[in-house]
Amino acid sequence: MVPSRRLPSPPAIPRSDHKKNGGRVLYSSPVKRIILSDGEKREACGVELENGTRLEADVVISNADLVWTYSNLLPQTKYTQKLENSQLTCSSISFYWSIKRKIPSLVTHQVFLAKEYRESFDIIFDGHSMPHQPSFYVNVPSRIDPSAAPDGKDAMIVLVPIGHLHANNLSKNWEKIISHAREFVLHTMENNILQPGDLKEGERFSDLIESESMNTPHTWEKDLNLFKGSILGLSHNIFQVINFRPHIKHDTIKRMYFVGASTHPGTGVPVVACGSKLTAEKVLKDLNLDIPWDLTVRSNRPITVDPATDPSGRTTMMNKMSKPWLLDLKENHWILNILFLPLILLFKLVTE
């Protein structure tokens, strides 16, 4: 099930609202460090850019990769070392192809699973490598977004999962690995995915590629600051969820917040979008500001509805939703830890 029309670019919506409210967006302005106040009770009070410019702020929210933020923008601590040794999600070799004509049989999403796909996952996540016959995902955005390609042409994204950068693979011949991934995808497209009539007689699928760009574990790390090239941040293993996962608010540095795949609630575009709402609500609440999009969050303020204009009984429901103990479950994750810890320990014993 896919949207009938393309969704707006996620950054475009908040950016436009940000400008309407007097905000500024700085481009090509890499951050060198997050500025902290002196004293025992440290607070985040701004950022320093690579060019030496200092920008003061009431709060700092990092939407960069969380582990990278702790490792490069904040002072090193034991917790930093713990994060750097955490279990990460995989990386990918991703190809972005411009196709010179439409391929009729391709739909928006295609997934190719290798014959030994279970074993291939072990190679990716445990061996931090790429199986000889990798599974891969193909997305054709021009199927639902006409602006993704000129008329009569297609755009295509191919994602080949591979282990994140690790001591086991740093010395490998990455040019050979990337070349093998590309040739395997091309061969599989021709022999397993494309249908008769998609290619003309004597034509190869590679002949249809007009232009190509790519990302690899190294470029994910270098260009986008993804720690070890992990494209989805911290994994969701049993001790990296609930309260074990890094919090959206720094535990010891006041006015320092995070948003993204490696904090609450977790990884994936829809989940991160929900997480951005949680982070915004936490910031507003800490600053004693109203949360305009959700009155139920403000449990310390009575919610009244005129029965004459709204006889639906919504007042009772909203008052129940704003009970303080419900908010405690939402915001104090240690309560959930206590509730689920016996199950977590039992699961750990059984699986080991």
Separation of alpha carbons 233 and 106, rounded Å: 30
The string of DSSP codes covering 124-159 is HHTS-S--SS--EEEE-GGGT-GGGS-TT-EEEEEE
Mean pLDDT for all residues in the chain: 84
Query: What's the pLDDT score for residue 172?
Result: 84
Residue 91: pLDDT band (50, 70, 90) is very high
Query: What's the pLDDT score for residue 303?
Result: 45
Higher-pLDDT residue of 242, 113: 113
Separation of alpha carbons 148 and 135, rounded Å: 25
| Mean pLDDT calculated for residue range 38-64 | 94
pTM: 0.79
pLDDT value at 200 more than 80: yes
pLDDT value at 294 more than 80: no
Separation of alpha carbons 287 and 291, rounded Å: 11
Residue type, 163: G
Separation of alpha carbons 95 and 213, rounded Å: 6
Higher-pLDDT residue of 178, 114: 178
Set out the domains of the chain in order of their start, with CATH numbers.
12-86+232-286 (3.50.50.60), 91-229 (no CATH), 295-351 (no CATH)
Query: What's the pLDDT score for residue 328?
Result: 42
pLDDT tens string 97-146 = 999 999 999 999 999 998 888 888 899 999 999 999 999 999 999 999 99
Residue 314: pLDDT band (50, 70, 90) is very low
Could you tell me the CA-to-CA distances from 193 to 80, 110, 141 in Å, in that order? 44, 8, 17
Query: What's the pLDDT score for residue 18?
Result: 75
β-strand 60-62 against 256-258: which pairing, if any?
parallel
pLDDT value at 159 more than 90: yes
- What is the gyration radius of the CA atoms in the chain, in angstroms? 24
| CB contact at 8 A, 68 and 52 | no
Query: What's the pLDDT score for residue 345?
Result: 55
pLDDT value at 176 more than 70: yes
pLDDT cut 90: percent of the chain above it? 62
Cβ-Cβ contacts under 8 Å for 191 (sequence gap 6 or more): none
Name the least confident of 219-228, 240-249, 295-304, 315-324. Answer: 315-324
pLDDT tens string 257-293 = 999 999 999 998 889 999 999 999 999 999 999 988 8
Residue type, 175: E
In three-state secondary structure terms, 186 is: helix
| Mean pLDDT calculated for residue range 1-28 | 68
pLDDT tens string 204-236 = 999 999 999 999 999 999 999 999 999 999 999
Tell me: cis bond preceding 161? Omega within 30 of 0 counts.
no
Q: Give the DSSP H/E element, type plus range, for residue 12.
A: helix 12-20
Query: Measuring CA to CA, which residue among 96, 91, 70 is closest to residue 166?
Result: 91
Query: What's the pLDDT score for residue 17?
Result: 74
Higher-pLDDT residue of 60, 40: 60
β-strand 209-215 against 154-162: which pairing, if any?
unpaired
Could you tell me the CA-to-CA distances from 10 to 223, 282, 313 in Å, in that order? 20, 21, 36
Instruction: Quickly tell me which residue has 């393309």 as its tokens.
Output: 6
pLDDT value at 74 more than 80: yes
Query: What's the pLDDT score for residue 11?
Result: 59
The string of DSSP codes covering 290-307 is --TT-GGG-TTS-----T
Query: What's the pLDDT score for residue 340?
Result: 53
